[in-house]
Structure 1
Amino acid sequence: MNLQPRVVRAAEPEPSGSSPLVVDSVTLMGGRRELIIRHGEDTYRLRVTASNKLILTK
């Protein structure tokens, strides 16, 4: 079983003045309850709670 996290990067930078990218949370989470987001040098954790809410923590 592969326990290494899969790193996904955007294909292209967002053009200025464009509308925001919309991603369904089911697609984003990929069937998991938690994922890690890297933003520069910082790491954030996105979790789905027992009441099906999203919580983002640093």
Structure 2
Amino acid sequence: MPTDPTRSNSPAPPAASRPAVKPGERTYPSGIISTDFLFQGNQEILISHNGEHYRLRITKNGKLILTK
């Protein structure tokens, strides 16, 4: 049976080879950005995408709404 080159049989790297995390610091998987980081205490932010502007806001119920 052919092997899949995208799969690796090697185990995850040991903790010693991973970057150190400071106490109290949050870590997220690659590509995930915390709303705390994005909003920095604000209730809404503006996002520019392909020359258009969008508004991302946090509702009173803690939901996110994106509008053009």
The answer to whether the aligner puts 1:42 opposite 2:46 as a matched pair is: no
Q: Partner of 1:23 in structure 2?
A: 33
User: Whose Rg is larger?
Assistant: 2
Gaps of 5+ in 2: 1-28
Tell me which stretches of 4 or more aligned residues in structure 1 moved more than 4 Å: none
Gaps of 5+ in 1: 1-18
Identity rate, percent? 40
Q: Partner of 2:7 in structure 1?
A: none
CA distance in 1, matches of 2:67, 2:59: 12
More strand by share: 1
CA deviation profile, 1:3-51 (whole Å, cap 9, x unmatched): xxxxxxxxxxxxxxxx861101111111100000000211000000010
Could you say what the CA RMSD is over the residues aligned between the two structures, in angstroms? Answer: 1.5
Q: Between Structure 1 and Structure 2, how many residues are aligned?
A: 40
TM-score, reference length from structure 2:
0.54
